[in-house]
Amino acid sequence: MTTTTSSTHGHPSFQGLIGAAQRDITPPAGIYARSWGAAKHDVHDGVHRPLTCTAVVLRAGENDLPLALIALDLGWWKRAEDEWLVRGAVIAALGVDDARVIVTMAHTHAGPSIDRSDHDRPGGHLVAAYLEQVRDAAVAAATEALRTACPAELAWEYGHCALARNRDLPDPLKPRTLCGFNPDLPADDTLLVGRATRTDGTIVATIVNYACHPTTLAWENHLISPDYVGAMRATVQAGTGGAPCAFLLGACGDLGPREQYTGDTSVADRNGAYLGACALATLVGMLPPRTRLAFSGAIESGAPLAAWRSEPTQPARTIGASTFAIEHPLKPLPSVAEITDELARCTDPVLIERLRRKLGVRRAVGDGSTAPIRGWVWRLGDAVLLAHPHEAYSLLQTELRARTPSRAIAVMNLSNGTSVGYLPPAALYDRDLYQVWQTPYAREVLERFTDACASAIDRTFSTSTAMNGSNA
């Protein structure tokens, strides 16, 4: 994406100190790894591709507090104490507050359990030690990224990739909606790529923000895998001199790959290679670092021509972080005791999986009639990172980008906190749709949260003088 101000045209960007580092977080053999109700196995047989922790740390100057972005090739947090074990450790290690650390999940459905309450499941005894491994890797990557941070520019550009397709398909046999590829509905194919470069042009890191469920590999898959994210990362890193690539999952509640729900890892690799190629194409199409185009006048020729010339530019150094929350009504929900009783009497494996998830959701939102929904907003120069814990429909990102077209806006699902459900549009609440009956939130949750996000972004840019360095 580029911005036009008067007679200039350039990338939304930030200049400061930027560092990146990675760690392997592949789990041990035999760990509990069941993500699908239709699966017939509880423990994986091997590893398709390693799981990775990628940290990107940014700050305005040597004496300023950092922002730390931690991207994990893992599924989703079910319990607050498990999530805080990792994020809280990074916050403590960097000596910053809650607003300045975002831990975001790739949302692979072919990963290990990260829920310590699964200790009684096959391989569940390994989960607690594995979470400590993830915690230590995140801290190590974040502190290394901070230690090695150097003067650099982070510039953003929008591209496109048709990997993501709409996944709300009307069932031809029943009055309900299936969760799978619908070729008749449009899908948001927006790709946002960030490029961090040193003053000599060397790439420090890349960031790929894209909305598409990593559900290529499903119940027939027996291997630990980052799904398409692994091949995407390998493709981008190979094309950028090995610079770490952080994947940020966008608002993908209604989006998934055309080819999915398979045990064939080559399909996941093909999906990832496609996204990686699109990301590299977007990078190739960007202007050189710290450069913009300026209108230099009209040239009279066979047609009157508009001449633009490249010129150096100084990226913004404004940086800041804040949080916000809304309180939203819950749908009528059974109590923890009622779900527990139903689960004890259930013998169907698919229904057991659904009830276990429902129980986790009820415990997470509590026994009240409303529950808070938090969001995190970072300003990085002319760009915005917007993070939240749930699974919003793509309307969240398309609406926010439409409201502020001059900004690069990276929206991140499944970040910071327990994920309890989907945020679907109000118009879908009258349909028999998984995302609607799964969510604990009542109608209009997406619309209200979108408005809150837009207001938070507006506040971020209206208070820029208070958001530099350690004062943010």
For 226-241, what is each residue's pLDDT tens digit? 999 999 999 999 999 9
- pLDDT band of residue 260 (cuts 50, 70, 90) is very high
**pLDDT at residue 24, rounded to an integer:** 98
Nearest CA among 459, 470, 371, 353 for reference residue 417:
371
**pLDDT at residue 251, rounded to an integer:** 98
- Contacts with 468 (C-beta within 8 Å, 6 or more apart), sequence order: 60, 64, 317, 318, 319, 320
Residues paired with residue 22 on neighbouring β-strands, in sequence order: 54
**What is the distance between the alpha carbons of residues 159 and 91, in angstroms, rounded to a whole number?**
33
pLDDT > 90 in the chain, percent: 86
Nearest CA among 207, 166, 209, 167 for reference residue 191:
209
**What is the distance between the alpha carbons of residues 286 and 281, in angstroms, rounded to a whole number?**
9
Average pLDDT of 375-390? 97
Q: pLDDT at residue 302 above 80?
A: yes
**pLDDT at residue 412, rounded to an integer:** 98
pLDDT averaged over the chain? 94
- pLDDT band of residue 191 (cuts 50, 70, 90) is very high
**pLDDT at residue 154, rounded to an integer:** 98
- Contacts with 215 (C-beta within 8 Å, 6 or more apart), sequence order: 109, 227, 256, 257, 260, 261
Q: pLDDT at residue 292 above 90?
A: yes
**pLDDT at residue 187, rounded to an integer:** 98
Tell me the per-residue pLDDT of 123-176, one tens digit each, with 9 for 90 and over.
999 999 999 999 999 999 999 999 999 999 999 999 999 999 999 999 999 999
**pLDDT at residue 1, rounded to an integer:** 58
**What is the distance between the alpha carbons of residues 247 and 239, in angstroms, rounded to a whole number?**
15
Average pLDDT of 401-424? 95
**What is the distance between the alpha carbons of residues 281 and 316, in angstroms, rounded to a whole number?**
25
Q: pLDDT at residue 471 above 80?
A: no
**pLDDT at residue 466, rounded to an integer:** 37
**pLDDT at residue 409, rounded to an integer:** 98
Residue of higher predicted confidence among 170 and 360: 170
Q: pLDDT at residue 70 above 60?
A: yes
Average pLDDT of 387-396? 98
- pLDDT band of residue 337 (cuts 50, 70, 90) is confident
**pLDDT at residue 2, rounded to an integer:** 60
Tell me the per-residue pLDDT of 8-61, one tens digit each, with 9 for 90 and over.
999 999 999 999 999 999 999 999 999 998 999 999 999 999 999 999 999 999
This prediction has a pTM of 0.94
